[in-house]
Amino acid sequence: MSPLNGTGREGVTVRTVLSVPELQQTQLAVLSGEDRLDAPVRWVHIAETEDVASLLEGGEFLLSSGPAFRLNVGRTRAFLLRLEAAGAAAFAVEIVTDDDVPDASSLEVLRAASAGLQIPVIALTKRVRFARITQTAHRLLIAEHLEWIERTREVHEVFTELSVSGADEAKIVERTSDLLNTSVVLEDAAHRILSFELRDATEDDLFDDWPLHSGRAVAVGMKQNRWGRLAAPFADPADRYAAEVLERAGQAITLVRMATQHQRDLLLDATDRFLGELSTHTQMTDQVAAQRSQRYGMSRSETYAAVALHTADVSDAAGVDLSDYQLEERRIRSELITAGRSLGLSALTGTWRYGTVVALVGFPTDAVDAPLAELSRTLEANLNWPITIGVGPTRSSVLAAGRDLETAVETARIAAGMSVRKRPFYRFADLRLNGLIAGLADDARMRVFAESELAPLLGTGGDASLVPDHAALDFLQTYVLAAGNKTAVAAQLGISRPVVYERARRLEKRLGVSLEDAESRAALLMALLWWRSQR
């Protein structure tokens, strides 16, 4: 392309000014900076002194006929370097003698002085009327400015209307993509895609190697709580219009999120109260419970179950700020609803106690194990820490499932304290003996029983201040779990059967009980499980 053809996408550029009729009628030579002819021009000035560089603010196209700029290579180059440092868009100078003919010697001086510079330096080899050039360029700049004002006004009206009409984030993303005619993506702080709109691209083009770091992007959310980013990955980073549209769209999304957050807060408070009433209100009927659950957004389902989510890392962390925890708790509830929805489940969530979120979950069929397992995996991946899920029995009504919430909470709490957790979720029946012992952990009678059974191995009279005989306790646990099978004990511990016989005999003597007796082994196992849980 000839350096005089076309204009830059940013409106009036160096190339635009060089294309005005007054300059088209002369012969000119671009001596440097030809790759910067599409740089935007902010204003056009006539410069006849070397002091002009100190008055520039950047983006100026300078015109000159002064001989001082074409007599000495060193002096001219120093002047041009000052213009370049000040951010001037271009410098054009007449190289004409008093007889109105091209000045070859001055052209060579200017060519040498501009060699290797980035700023476009243009030699005009015919006398021109600078006033006409500035008038034409200024009309273009003013027209560009008025056009920009009109475009930004239209953008403002579009997003104001979207905000007033209550458009959601997806609608705003779609309209942003329409305005820019390019793909637009809304993501959260963890770069998870919340909404997107494709234009001239496939999902593979857009999301391979996500997040992209090119294109235009703006943060969304209040300054003190940025929760996401709105991006146009394929937009030109230098596109001023794209920046304006994305900025306005980000503001609209922030306002929408603030408004919907208030509604969500009210809904969360309402479902909190409702779930609390379900577990304690004995006068509520099935019909009333079903109607109220639907009013809060729960779909009519085939099967219902109470679910409790215990977040040990949150609830057990020392020094956790209450306000920080409440924000985290809301995120957990939001993740639970979103994950459930993706699996075709309907859920109402609530808070039960510090570190525990509860939910009433509706299932489309009576097959609940597979979706519950997938729900557990999704939540653990999205929350980035281990969770324990307790589940009540499956029920045919909202009311019946709601009354199982306490059971689900206790199941989750006990399962979280068990030494071995292998299941994606637990029902109370899954806890078995470990669950029973965990449930009785604080019962004084259980403590007395366990310490009495193990007293000789824990210390005189069960004194906890003395060092327990861990080797004997470990052998005893292996022995009772193997139901006294000495061959199995020997294989598990890597010792001979005679050694097992001898150790068992010494233990019987210390404990004063027979390890061949099934009831004794059962009592010792319960005592051992309690002692391990206390550790």
Which CATH number do you get for residue 233?
3.30.450.40
Structural domain contains residue 273: no
pLDDT score at 268: 73
Highest mean pLDDT out of 59-63, 203-207, 212-216: 59-63
Proportion of the chain above pLDDT 70, given as a percent: 87
Judge whether residue 110 has pLDDT over 70: yes
Are both 179 and 239 inside the same structural domain? yes
Is the residue at 250 inside a domain?
yes
Q: State how far the Cα of 7 lies from the Cα of 25, in Å rounded to an integer.
A: 18
Burial class (CB in 10 A: 0-12, 13-18, 19+), 371: middle
Question: Which has more confidence, 241 or 373?
Answer: 373
pLDDT band at 39 (very low <50, low <70, confident <90, very high): confident
CA distances from 416 to 206, 290, 423 (A): 41, 31, 11
For residue 492, being part of any structural domain is answered with yes
Domain coverage including residue 48 = 14-141
Mean pLDDT of the region 332-350: 89
Look at residue 481 and tell me if it is in a domain: yes
Integer Cα distance of 510 and 17 in angstroms: 103
Q: Based on the fold, state whether residues 398 and 452 are members of the same structural domain.
A: no
How far is CA 243 from each of CA 159, 166, 217, 230, 479, rounded to the nearest angstrom?
Answer: 14, 23, 8, 11, 72
**Cα separations (Å) of 222 from 80, 167, 255?**
45, 19, 9
DSSP string across 280-326: H-TT--HHHHHHHHHHTTPPP-SEEEEEEEE-HHHHT-TT--HHHHH
Answering whether pTM is above 0.95, one says no
Q: Average pLDDT of 58-72?
A: 79
The pLDDT, as a whole number, for residue 305 is 94
Of 218-222, 381-385, 469-473, 491-495, the one with minimum mean pLDDT is 381-385
Does any domain span residue 270?
Answer: no
pLDDT tens digits along 147-181: 777 777 888 888 888 877 777 888 888 988 888 88
The rounded mean pLDDT for the chain is: 80
Predicted confidence band of residue 435 (pLDDT cuts 50, 70, 90): low
Query: What is the model's pLDDT at position 317?
Result: 47
Q: Does 6 have pLDDT greater than 50?
A: no
**Please, what is the Cα angle at 214 between 208 and 218, to 5 degrees?**
110
Listed range (14-18, 83-87, 219-223, 261-265) with the worst mean pLDDT: 261-265
C-beta separation of 426 from 352 below 8 A: no
The whole-number pLDDT of residue 2 equals 31
Is residue 462 scored above 50 in pLDDT?
Answer: no
Same domain, 131 and 86: yes
Are 426 and 465 in the same domain? Answer: no
| Residue at 342 is within a domain | yes
Same domain, 221 and 334: no
Residues 133, 17: contact at Cβ < 8 Å?
yes
Domain end point (choices 387, 408, 436): 436
Q: What is the largest CA-CA distance in the chain?
A: 128
Domain count, the chain: 4
Q: What is the structure's pLDDT at 371?
A: 92
**One domain, residues 296 and 400:** yes
Q: Is residue 322, in this structure, part of any structural domain at all?
A: yes
Tell me, yes or no, whether 432 and 313 share the same domain: yes
| 23 plus 118 within the same structural domain | yes
CATH number at residue 292: 3.30.70.270
pLDDT in tens, 131-141: 778 887 778 88
Where do we find the tokens 């549209």?
245
Q: How confident is the model at residue 8 (pLDDT cuts 50, 70, 90)?
A: very low
pLDDT of 190 over the 80 cut: no
Cα distance between residue 403 and residue 405, in whole Å? 6
Q: What is the CATH number of the domain that holds 453?
A: 1.10.10.2840
- 203 within a domain of the structure (yes/no): yes
Kindly state whether residues 382 and 449 are assigned to the same domain.
Answer: no
Of 415, 298, 304, residue with least CA distance to 349? 298
Q: Tell whether 84 and 108 lie within a shared domain.
A: yes
% the chain with pLDDT above 90: 10
Asked if 440 and 485 touch (Cβ cutoff 8 Å), the reply is no
Lowest mean pLDDT among 106-110, 160-164, 209-213, 397-401: 209-213
Q: Which residue has the higher pLDDT, 314 or 122?
A: 122
Domain boundary among 436, 469, 504: 436
Name the residue with tokens 């959260």: 188
One domain, residues 447 and 430: no
**Digit-coded pLDDT (tens) for 478-513:** 888 888 888 988 898 889 999 989 998 998 888 888
Tell me: do 112 and 23 sit in the same domain. Answer: yes
Amino acid letter, residue 184: V
Helix (H) or strand (E) holding 32: strand 28-32
